[in-house]
Chains A and B, each alone.
Chain A
C-alpha cells in the first residue's frame, strides 16, 4: 500500500463499561455507565515519520496506543495497518512482527525473573527469526544497537538503571525488526538528563531503520524534539492535528494555545499567563457540543450545542467553531 497511509485510524472509539454491579444498580435505580476513553479519533501516519499525541492524563492517549497494537479492540471504527485491518493483520505472525510497543514504566515492562538476554530474545523466538546460537548473536546485536554491551545479556533487569532498562525495552522491541513502534510515554519515568539520551537514540534508530513512530506523551518539550506531526487530545478526541513546527509556531485551537501558554521558558519570565479555569470534565459524562466549551474563553451557544468537526486550516486540522468562524483572532 501507499507509504503515505502506512498507519491509519478511522474514527476509532473505545468505551469502557464502568457500571456498578447489577444488584447495586437495581437498588440505586441507575443505568449502565460507560466511560468514553476515546470517542471518534482519526489520523494517518506516513511511513518513516512520527506522529505524537499529547494531552493531559485521562484524555485517552494510552488507550489509543493500546488500540494501535491490538491490545484493545476499538468499540467503533477501524485501525488500518499497511492496507490491512489491524485485527486481521494481528492474526498472522508475519504481520504481527512488524509492530512493537515500548512502555512507560521501565521497572514494570521487564519481567524481573528473566535474564535480559531472554527478555530480548523473546520476540526472536516467538517469531522463529533465528535458531540455536544465532538467537544470542541477534540479542547481542540488538543490545549493541541501543548502546549496551552483549555481555549485559546475562544480568537481571534489577541490575540496571531506569535509562538502561528503557534501552533494554527498546532492544526487545527492535529484535523482531519491526517497522511500526508505538511508544507510550517512553521517557516520562526517566530523569531529564536520561530522557534526552533515549529520545536521541530513538531518533537515530528511526533514521537508520526507517521506523514509523506513534509517540504518546504529556510533555510538549519532548514531543517537539521527536515529532513530524502532533495531535493534541482533549477528553478522548483530537482537537488539533498539525505539523510540529506549525503547531508550535501558530497554534489554532484555544486548548492548544492554553497548553503553549503553560510551557515554562527562560526568556519570557514574568510574562502574564492566562490560566485555564475549571477542571477536565469526566469522560463518563462529557459536556454537550465541543468538549472544551466549559473552559474555553471563546465559547458561544453553537459551541455548547454542536460538536465541531475536524476542518482543514492550512496544514492544520482543527476542531473548533471559533477558528472556523474567525473568532479566534479577537483574543
Chain B
C-alpha cells in the first residue's frame, strides 16, 4: 500500500483536481449501483410494492413532489432514484462484461498476430480491418438481430443480457488487437524473448509469461476508455429497444421510457437517467484520459 502512495501514478493523481472529482463521482455511482439493493429506498422490480396511484410524481422539491420519491416516479409508479441505481447496475454490468470480453479476445488476437507475424498476422489483421469498417453499433445491431431471428422469444429473453454483452464486446475487439499487436511487435524482438527462445521455452509460454506482462499498460488505458463507450453502446441499444429486456431496465431503457413522456411535461423521467448516464460516462472517460497521460512516459 505504501508503495502505491509513493508511486508516480498517485503523485500525478493527487495533483489533478479534475481527475479527483471524476474519481469521486465514478466511485459514488459505481458504489450506488453495486449496493443498489441496500441503498435504494425502493425496489423498483418488486411489483407488489408498486402503486399506479404514485405514477408521474414530479421530483421532491417541486410543488407536487412527494418526499417519498426524491427524483419523482415514472409511468408505473416506480421510484426514479431507485430505478436509476438499479439501472446503472445493469448498465455497468453489461459495460464491464463487454469490455472484459473484447479485451480478452483482442489481447489474444493481438499477441498471436504480433508474435507469430507472417500469414497469421496478415489474416488476423485483415479480419480486424474488415470489422473496423463497420460502425460498432451496426455490428451490435446485426448480432442482436441474428440472435433474435434464430432463437424463440422465451429463450431470447433469458439470454438477452448475454447477447448484448457479446454484441458490444465483439464490435470492439479490433482496437485492443491493434494496440497489443503493435506492442508485441516491439517486445518480441527484445533480447529477453530471444533468451527465452534459446532456453527452448514454448511459444505460448513466452507469449503469456514474457510478452503479456509487458503489453498490459496500453490495454488498461483502452479498457478504461472503452468502459465509457460500452455503457453508451448498451444505452443506445436499449434506447432502440434491442438491448436488455424491459423487465430489467438499464439506464438506456429508462431514458427510452421517459422519451415517450418528454413532450407531455414529465421531463424528469428521461432527464435524470440521462444525467446519470452522462456523469458516469464522463467521469470514466476523464479517468481513462488521465490514465493514458499518466502512463505515457513522454508526457511526464
Q: Are B191 and A108 in contact (CB under 8 A)?
A: yes
Q: Within the assembled complex, what's the spacing in Å between the Cα atoms of A105 and B196?
A: 15
A100–B192 contact, CB under 8 A? no
Are A90 and B195 in touch, CB under 8 angstroms? no
A102 to chain B, nearest CB (A): 9
Q: Which residue of B lies closest to A127 (CB)?
A: B199
Bound: A122/B202 CA distance, A: 12
- Interface 0/1 of B179-205, CB less than 8 Å to A: 000000000001110111111110000
In the bound complex, how far is the Cα of B200 from the Cα of A100, in angstroms?
A: 10
A101 at the binding interface (Cβ < 8 Å): yes
A111 at the binding interface (Cβ < 8 Å)? yes
A281 in contact (CB, < 8 A): no
Contacts A104-B191, A122-B196 known; A112 to B201 CB distance under 8 Å?
Answer: no
Q: Is the interface of A mostly helix, strand, loop or mixed?
A: loop
Q: Which residues of A lie under 8 Å from residue B198 when comparing CB positions? A: 69-71, 99-101
Are A111 and B192 in contact (CB-based, < 8 A)? yes
Interface check A210, CB cutoff 8 A: no
* A239 contacts the other chain (CB 8 A): no
A122 to B194, CA, bound (A): 13
Q: How far is the CB of B111 from chain A (nearest CB, A)?
A: 15
Q: List the A side residues contacting B200 at CB < 8 Å.
A: 90, 93, 96, 126
- From residue B219, how far is it (CB to closest CB) to chain A in Å? 14
Which B148-203 residues have a C-beta within 8 angstroms of A?
190-192, 194-201
Q: Are B194 and A112 in contact (CB under 8 A)?
A: no
Q: Tell me the bound Cα distance from A105 to B214 in angstroms.
A: 17
CB distance from B294 to the nearest CB of A (A): 18
Q: Is the CB of A176 within 8 A of B199?
A: yes
Within 8 A of B (CB), among A59-106: 66, 69-71, 90, 93, 96, 99-101, 103-105
Expressed in whole angstroms, the Cα–Cα distance for A113 and B212 within the complex equals 10
What is the CA–CA distance of A217 and B210 in the complex, to the nearest angstrom?
28
Q: What is the size, in residues, of chain A's interface with B at 8 Å between Cβ atoms? A: 27
Does B265 touch A at the CB level, under 8 Å?
A: no
How far, in angstroms, from A110 to B210 measured CA to CA in the complex? 10
A48 at the interface (CB under 8 A from B): no
Known contacts being A90-B200, A122-B199, is A113 close to B214, with CB within 8 Å?
Answer: yes
> Is B17's beta carbon under 8 Å from chain A?
no
Total interface residues in chain B, CB < 8 Å: 14
Q: Mark B64-107, 1 if CB is under 8 A from A, else 0.
A: 00000000000000000000000000000000000000000000
Given contacts A93-B200, A122-B201, A126-B201, contact A101 B214 (CB under 8 A): no
Interchain CB contact under 8 A, B214 and A109: no
Instruction: Establish whether residues B190 and A96, one from each chain, have CB atoms under 8 Å apart when the complex forms.
Output: no
Q: Which one of B190, B195, B201, B210 lies within 8 Å of A101 (CB-CB)?
A: B195
Using CB atoms, name the residue of chain A closest to B202.
A126
Say how far B124's CB is from chain A's closest CB, in angstroms. 18
A123 close to chain B: CB less than 8 A: yes
Q: Which residues of B contact A127 (CB under 8 A)?
A: 199
Contact A113 B195 (CB under 8 A): no
Interface string of A157-177 (1 = CB under 8 A from B): 000000000000100100010
Q: Please tell me if the beta carbons of B213 and A103 are within 8 angstroms of each other in the complex.
A: no
Please name all residues of chain B whose beta carbon is closer than 8 Å to the beta carbon of A176 when the two chains form the complex: 199
Q: How far is the CA of A113 from the CA of B190 in the complex (A)?
A: 13
CA distance A113 to B191 in the complex (A): 14
The reply to whether B195 and A103 contact each other, CB–CB distance below 8 Å, is yes
Please tell me if the beta carbons of A109 and B199 are within 8 angstroms of each other in the complex: no
For A101, the closest partner residue in chain B by CB is B198
Check B199–A111 contact: CB distance below 8 A: no
Tell me which residues across on chain B come within 8 A of A122, comparing CB atoms.
Answer: 196, 199, 201
A125 to chain B, nearest CB (A): 10
Q: Select which of B192, B196, B199, B210 is within 8 A of A108 by beta carbon.
A: B192
| Bound complex: CA A183 to CA B216 (Å) | 31
Contact assessment for B201 and A109 in the assembled complex, using a CB-CB cutoff below 8 Å: no
Contact B196 A103 (CB under 8 A): no
Closest residue to B195 on the A side, CB-wise?
A: A109
Q: Given contacts A96-B199, A126-B201, is CB(A112)–CB(B191) below 8 Å?
A: no
CB distance from A283 to the nearest CB of B (A): 20
B1 vs chain A, min Cβ distance (A): 19
Assembled-state Cα–Cα distance A146/B195 (Å): 18
Contacts of A109 in B (CB 8 A): 190-192, 194-195
A109 CA / B198 CA spacing, docked (Å): 12
Distance between Cα atoms of A40 and B194 in the complex (Å) = 24
Q: Which residue of A lies closest to B196 (CB)?
A: A122
Bound CA–CA A254/B199 (angstroms) = 40
CB contacts (< 8 Å) of B197 on chain A: these are 71
B214 contact set on A, CB distance < 8 A: 111-113
* Min CB–CB distance B185 → chain A (angstroms): 14
Write the chain B residue with the least CB distance to A91. Answer: B200
Give CA–CA (A93, B201) in the complex, Å.
10
Residue of A whose beta carbon sits closest to that of B200: A96
Q: What residue of chain B has the Cβ atom nearest to residue A172's Cβ?
A: B195
B210 touching A111 by the CB < 8 A rule? yes
Separation of A104 and B194 alpha carbons in the complex (Å):
12
Residues of A within 8 A of B192 (CB): 108-111
A residues in contact with B194, CB < 8 Å: 66, 71, 101, 103, 109
A105 touches B199 (CB 8 A): no
A-B contact pairs, 10 of them (CB 8 A): A71-B197, A96-B199, A101-B195, A109-B190, A114-B213, A122-B196, A122-B201, A126-B199, A169-B195, A172-B195
The 5 A-B pairs of least Cβ separation, nearest first, read A109-B191, A103-B191, A113-B213, A111-B192, A108-B190
